[in-house]
A and B are shown apart, each in its own frame.
Chain A
Amino acid sequence: MKAFEYASPRTEAEVVQLLSAEPGKTEILAGGTDLVGLMKKMIVTPDRVVNIMDVPTLKSIDELPDGSVSIGATVTLDDILAHPYLDVYPAIKQAIRGISSMQLQAQGTLGGEVCQRPRCWFYRNGDGLLSQGVAEGANEFHAILGNSGPAKFVNSSRIAPALIALDAQLRVLGPDDAEQFVPLAEFFRSPQREGQREHVLAPNQFVSHIVLPPIEGRTCATYEVRHGEGPDYPLAAAAAALRLNGFGIVQDANVVLGQVAPMPWISQEAIAVLRGRKVDVALAEAAGEAAVSRATPLSQNEYKVQLAKVAVKRAILLAAGYETGGF
């Protein structure tokens, strides 16, 4: 690791004050499960690391007066699993159970999970986020959607699809006491040049809380297609949130795919298929088809198209209360 300065602020304002406006100079440390490994490999080389684990206001799960739930950025994944308020959002708990490693659940935080860097092996081996190598080969785990630009990695977050499907917002703090609420759906972006981050925050802004609107009769689910039951990242995943009327007709739907594009992929095509229809196996399958209708697989990842289709289908069926069958 490159030598760096370390600070452990106690308030949100102090965190902002310690962050540099210049990209790459400061990094935010929470659980450390991603950042410390990246620093060891010298892929991330900050001059200062700001540990936000000692800021008390970032550690709690609170119900807000309007029924929303605010989760602090440093709330650990196992604390979310254990929290009774959050039972109404099964998609989130399912995604966290999918992570399955006790250590990652105990040490990893929600903010860190959402902001983690891509697992792309070109990136992790020092070739940069936009390595030319991806197009040439060894791209079996890369993007099948949204991959026409320079970024072909996949966003690795396993909880973000569920959070986006549930219309989560991020509370973002910045200089001069600036507080803003950013829909998670607008947080991620596909970098266009090397050095650009995978999200829209300035280097001196940080995510303090994740705010979930009330569930209000919606149902939701996450479904991951994994290579096995081991600790690897899924090959494809999807989260669905549905509002059904008394006759089981979809009034409103959100379908978000994970592990298939440089950002969590909101599928307007799948949403359009679902609206106004009654959920059954055929409809869920049609939504899956629609979700991958614009897929442009790379040389070695055509298999992911089928997996993504199945992930969408099963997330929808799970959300609608159907048995999904199989693993």
Chain B
Amino acid sequence: MTDLKNKAAKKSGFNRRDFFRGSGAIAAATALQTQTADAFQDQSPQIISGETTITLNVNGKDHQVKAEPRTTLLEVLRYQLDLTGAKPVSSDGSSGASTIFVDGKPMTASTILALQAAGKKIETVESLGGDAVQQAFVKYDAEQCGFCTPGFVMAVRSFLNKKPNASEAEIRSGLNGNICRCGTYANIVEAAISVAKGGN
């Protein structure tokens, strides 16, 4: 436990709470960005409110986008960068239709704030043009209405990256984060199996 205690004992000389007390708390919080007196200013957290411009690295390119704290990554991708592959379906991530890769890991863009994604490597389904998974979805007719498809393509790609020779049972359980309301699971699994067998 000593390690943890030592960690906790380290504290910066700058006490933000005192600053809040002396300055009318939350109303003045944005002013924090401009205060200059403190030596630790570079390390102190910015409090962001309202729209700001951030840089997002999407599919290998940096983009300047505008985001409020409440703007989701999905909204930025779809409505500012015109990357409409990831879909807004469940709004809480439970459908998996907004699945993208963040630093290589599958995540749902609908439950990530755009500001959280700054500085991370974001990949969308648009980056998988020509990928074996995309081709297999076409070949095995793995979509009906198509809304869940981009999320499933990303999920299959991600799962097979981790387990290239996955069995059918592993694929079925690996795709548990995605839902298809049309129920075209059989074809999706077939497509995934074909890629696993092809070794891509």
- Name A68's contact: one of B1, B8, B96 (CB within 8 Å): B1
Instruction: Indicate if A106 sits at the interface (CB-CB under 8 A).
Output: yes
Over the window 59-71 of chain A, the binary record of Cβ atoms lying under 8 Å from chain B Cβ atoms (1 yes, 0 no) is 0001011101010
Q: Which residues of B contact A20 (CB under 8 A)?
A: 26
Q: Using a CB-CB cutoff of 8 Å, which residues 26-74 of chain A contact chain B? A: 29, 31-33, 36-41, 47-49, 51, 53, 57, 62, 64-66, 68, 70
Over the window 31-57 of chain B, the binary record of Cβ atoms lying under 8 Å from chain A Cβ atoms (1 yes, 0 no) is 000000000000111111110000000
Interface residues of B, count at CB 8 A: 56
Over the window 69-100 of chain B, the binary record of Cβ atoms lying under 8 Å from chain A Cβ atoms (1 yes, 0 no) is 11010000000000000000001111010010
B47, A107: Cβ atoms closer than 8 Å: no
Query: Assuming A5-B47, A179-B8, is B16 touching A17 (CB within 8 A)?
Result: yes
Over the window 1-38 of chain A, the binary record of Cβ atoms lying under 8 Å from chain B Cβ atoms (1 yes, 0 no) is 11111111111111001101000000001011100111
Question: How far does the alpha carbon of A78 sit from the alpha carbon of B105 in the complex, in Å?
Answer: 10
- Name A230's contact: one of B9, B11, B93, B176 (CB within 8 Å): B176
Question: How far does the alpha carbon of A36 sit from the alpha carbon of B115 in the complex, in Å?
Answer: 13
How far is the CB of A128 from the nearest CB of chain B, in Å?
18
Chain A residues touching B, range: 35 or more
Q: Which residues of B contact A177 (CB under 8 A)?
A: 8-9, 11
Question: How far does the alpha carbon of A47 sit from the alpha carbon of B27 in the complex, in Å?
Answer: 11
How far is the CB of B116 from the nearest CB of chain A, in Å?
6
Label chain B's interface by main secondary structure: mixed
Q: Which residues of A contact B8 (CB under 8 A)?
A: 12, 173, 177, 179
Instruction: Indicate if B145 sits at the interface (CB-CB under 8 A).
Output: no
How far is the CB of A175 from the nearest CB of chain B, in Å?
7
A102, B69: Cβ atoms closer than 8 Å: no
- Name B111's contact: one of A13, A36, A66 (CB within 8 Å): A36
What 14 new A-B contacts, CB under 8 Å, besides A8-B115, A103-B106, A106-B107? Answer: A6-B49, A7-B47, A8-B46, A14-B16, A32-B111, A33-B92, A36-B113, A51-B113, A78-B105, A102-B159, A103-B108, A177-B8, A177-B9, A179-B4
The 10 closest A-B pairs by CB, nearest first: A37-B92, A101-B177, A6-B69, A106-B105, A100-B176, A17-B16, A1-B70, A103-B177, A9-B45, A36-B111
